[in-house]
Amino acid sequence: MPLSKALLQLGTGLKGASSDSRAQGGTEARTGSTDPVAKDYFQERDGQRFAGTHLIIDIWQAGRLDDRAHLEATLRACVAAAGATLLHLHLHRFTPQGGISGVAVLAESHISIHTWPERSYAALDVFMCGDTQPRAAITVLRQAFPGARLAVEEHLRGRVEA
């Protein structure tokens, strides 16, 4: 498959490749301006300017980590709760142990998950920029995996030095 067709399928990289202007690359596609700082989707919080919030989430003592439909519904609920824009969702089941890995590709970045059902453990990355609320995914995960223990680390990606 030619690269241009593959990029069109992903909805990235080419002008006019996506009907959602927020999903297109480049400042000009998003804002109609060639000014690189016109709208770069960086955020400001507590006097810091940065690209986005990256949550590293470990879930222990969780069930249903081999349930593809449950994981898909959970990822979709995380995207909705965060106010993000879902572009593509892909999950892959590994056999024989039944672990699942997947990614929700967002206009604002991504959510990824990797599960080890035999250890009742899942690892998630929630990385979002723009006008989103990535921490809202934590509430969704607590509801999706009742009784599980969540450990959350937050990193501010792309910090701009003053």
Strand partners, 104: 89, 111
Task: Output the CA–CA distances (angstroms, integers) from residue 35 to 17, 38, 80, 82, 162, in the order listed.
Answer: 21, 5, 31, 28, 20
Question: Which of 78, 114, 120, 155 is an active site residue?
Answer: 114
Concerning whether 78 is annotated as a catalytic residue, the answer is no
Question: Which of 18, 54, 78, 109 is an active site residue?
Answer: 109
Q: Which segments of 5-138 are extended strands (E)?
A: 43-45, 48-50, 52-60, 86-93, 100-106, 109-116, 121-129
Contact 30, 24 (CB under 8 A): yes
Per DSSP, the residues of 31-65 read: HS---TTSS---EEETTEEESEEEEEEEEES-S-T
Concerning whether 109 is annotated as a catalytic residue, the answer is yes
Concerning whether 88 is annotated as a catalytic residue, the answer is no
Q: Name the CA radius of gyration of the chain, rounded.
A: 17
Please give the structure tokens belonging to residue 125.
Answer: 């990355």
Cite the active site residues.
109, 114, 129
